[in-house]
A and B are shown apart, each in its own frame.
Chain A
């Protein structure tokens, strides 16, 4: 057995699993986080995408042991009970998901992109989502939703900056 301890959505989680357990199996079967989906299981479809130490990866292509000691963010870590994440809101508003199976993976790819780049070009968004297959073929609206989210997040960070400046200016 392999003992693993990692931070999942901000909480420390541990498990003891057979070495051949993938990160995806660990998340779904041991931690009961079923947002990341088992699709192709060979790294083509991106339905299992999660963010490990800031990078989007296919959790079906990573052994649980490789994630030991690392920070994992899954779709369950995006929303709080009261608030959806901006990316989730814009996907909802745009109707960017149809059957929704690819959604958790697409959203995590979009999140990883926007964490690095809040002003992505259409081509950069396409590149970031090229590892996520949507068989309802609704890519256009997804790209619009990511653009909307980027705009809202830019405005938000500007507002926060202004707020911070005001606080400094008025002691």
Chain B
């Protein structure tokens, strides 16, 4: 690695001040599992590294008035082990578990994973399917935006130099919303997704899909929604046939590429299958929750 300066931030205010002062010359160190690789490959040549990895305030996973807050520095292992998350959103546990291996999940953070903004980002689809919002801090203050607006293009977020991702929020109206995550890679461990999928829906009166969300990863420049498939499901009676048809429609909305991992046609087929599987898994979760309520 080329030489750089290093400061360990004492708190969020200190981190934001340092980032404001150094702007584009600074890089933020969170988990480091992506940043250190990029520094070794000289993708970035920062003058200074602002280490935020010790900021406990950004690791908290808590329910507040406006929803579930996951601190940007919560590691994938923290997410897997948080009872609030496994109880309410097993889809997020599945997504976290699908990332890297134990060593990378112990260091890598949710915020760091999201801002890599790679098309296959495994933290993306389930959170997009749950209408997640992010908080960003800078010298000008804090602002919120939908997670979908963070993703601009491959490895390109809407964050500017000086911005610090603070937390990821699942809005309170979506707490407990049945959701699921599915990923297909070439291996179980340490494999990039050929396709990953996040879905969520409520079970409406007379057992129809209500507020369905389908998010697809690795089949477009960023994580995308499948609005036609969602519109098809909205208000429709829940059935295996409807899930399969939604998968077929979503496949037409995907824009996959062919690369050395898989062909575009194969990825499109995977979208149809994974959407169907994820919808079925979310439905099983909704049914289990219903049973719990009745019992």
Contact = CB atoms under 8 A, between A and B. Distances in A.
Interface in B241-284: none
B39 A62 contact: no
Contacts, number: 86
A61 B32 contact: yes
B3 A131 contact: no
Contact of A63 (B29, B103, B104, B190): B29
B2 A43 contact: no
A131 B37 contact: no
Interface residues of A, number: 31
A29 to B, nearest CB: 14
Interface in A48-64: 49, 55-58, 60-63
B40 interface: yes
Nearest to B187: A130
**Among A22, A56, A126, which residue has the most Cβ atoms of chain B within 10 A?**
A56
Chain B interface, >50% SS class:
mixed
A46 to B, nearest CB: 6
B33 A41 contact: no
A109 interface: yes
Given A58-B107, A130-B190, A65 B102 contact: no
A76 interface: no
Contacts of A128: 102
Interface residues of B, number: 28
A20 B49 CA distance: 9
Nearest to A2: B6
A42 interface: yes
A42 B104 CA distance: 11
A18 interface: yes
Contacts of B49: 19, 63
B51 A65 contact: yes
A82 interface: no
A65 B6 contact: yes
B146 interface: no
A149 to B, nearest CB: 17
B107 A19 contact: no
Interface in A69-105: none
Given A43-B104, A57-B106, A65-B6, A130 B189 contact: yes
Interface of B: 1-6, 8, 29, 32-33, 36-37, 39-40, 49, 51, 53, 77, 100-104, 106-107, 188-190
22 contacts: A2-B6, A19-B6, A22-B36, A43-B103, A46-B103, A49-B103, A56-B103, A56-B106, A58-B104, A61-B37, A61-B103, A61-B104, A62-B32, A63-B29, A63-B51, A68-B8, A126-B188, A127-B102, A130-B102, A130-B189, A131-B101, A131-B104
Please name the 7 residue pairs, one residue from A and one from B, whose CB atoms are nearest each other, closest first.
A131-B101, A130-B189, A19-B6, A20-B1, A55-B106, A131-B103, A58-B103
